[in-house]
Homo-oligomer: A and B are copies of this chain.
Amino acid sequence: MHRTKVKVVEDALDANHTIANANRADFDRAGVTVVNFMSAPGAGKTTLLERTLTGLEGVRAGVLEGDVQGSMDADRLAALHVPVTQINTDPSFGGECHLDANMVRSALPEIVLDDLDLLVIENVGNLVCPAEFKVGEDARVMVTSITEGEDKPLKYPLMFRTCELVLVNKIDLLPHLEYDLDRLLTNLDAVHPGVPRMLVSARTGEGIEPWREWLVAKASRAGVPA
């Protein structure tokens, strides 16, 4: 039974990969840089985007919002006049715990790619499956909040290993926690040596500027041959 299960999963990941490539081709054609933005529930993805997306010099940014149910995060971002498209992952059971390439593909007709330079795909809050499913992104960024503890890179290694930037959020709470930031960074380097990391506070705005600059630089490289 277990062997069958692994085969089913492998087939699903293969099919996903094919659709992710089709998404990627569409994004490339339109010159849109796509960031797959991931974290555990409540790590602060939406607040980080609220802090960032309105002040991106010369970059037209949009968001594709993934949630099991509802559109609360999408509504928050739409209030800032950022174009937002919502995907809900709950067709008939408890809901999917991640976005896959096909869900993103099914949302593409609603997104005017030619009007965008940057599309941030805010994934479902989860540290496991979102890392397994490519959606056609150029880059993966993940957020770890210091309130989650220093051990998370070791417990969810694929997520921390497959991203190219880690935002360490809620650092304004450092004085109120027994949090060992050095231990987090050591754990991070153990699973993904040298991965770029930024210490940020979505609440106070501390450290937000480098993250904004990172997004602008990413978006500016779209269409430029590597």
> Would B42 and A128 count as touching, CB distance under 8 A?
no
With known contacts A147-B147, A155-B69, A170-B147, A128–B6 Cβ distance under 8 A: no
Q: Which residues of B contact A10 (CB under 8 A)?
A: 93
Number of copies: 2
> Would A1 and B148 count as touching, CB distance under 8 A?
no
> Would B6 and A68 count as touching, CB distance under 8 A?
no
A125 within 8 A of B: yes
> Would B42 and A95 count as touching, CB distance under 8 A?
no
> Would B41 and A97 count as touching, CB distance under 8 A?
no
> Would A41 and B93 count as touching, CB distance under 8 A?
no
Shortest distance from the beta carbon of A220 to any chain B beta carbon, whole Å: 31
> Would B129 and A42 count as touching, CB distance under 8 A?
no
A225 within 8 A of B: no
> Would A41 and B148 count as touching, CB distance under 8 A?
yes
A2 to B93, CA, bound (A): 13
Partner of A129 from B2, B67, B94, B149 at Cβ < 8 Å: B94
Shortest distance from the beta carbon of A145 to any chain B beta carbon, whole Å: 7
> Would A42 and B149 count as touching, CB distance under 8 A?
yes
A96 within 8 A of B: yes
Given contacts A41-B148, A67-B155, A94-B131, 8 further A-B contacts (CB under 8 A): A13-B93, A40-B125, A69-B156, A94-B128, A97-B97, A97-B129, A124-B128, A147-B170
Task: Give chain A's interface residues, CB within 8 Å of chain B.
Answer: 1-2, 6, 8-10, 13, 40-42, 67-70, 72, 91-97, 102, 124-129, 131-132, 145, 147-149, 151-152, 154-158, 170, 173, 176-177
19 cross-chain CB contacts under 8 A = A2-B91, A6-B91, A40-B42, A41-B127, A41-B148, A41-B152, A41-B155, A42-B145, A42-B147, A42-B148, A42-B149, A68-B155, A69-B156, A69-B157, A72-B151, A94-B129, A97-B128, A126-B126, A173-B176
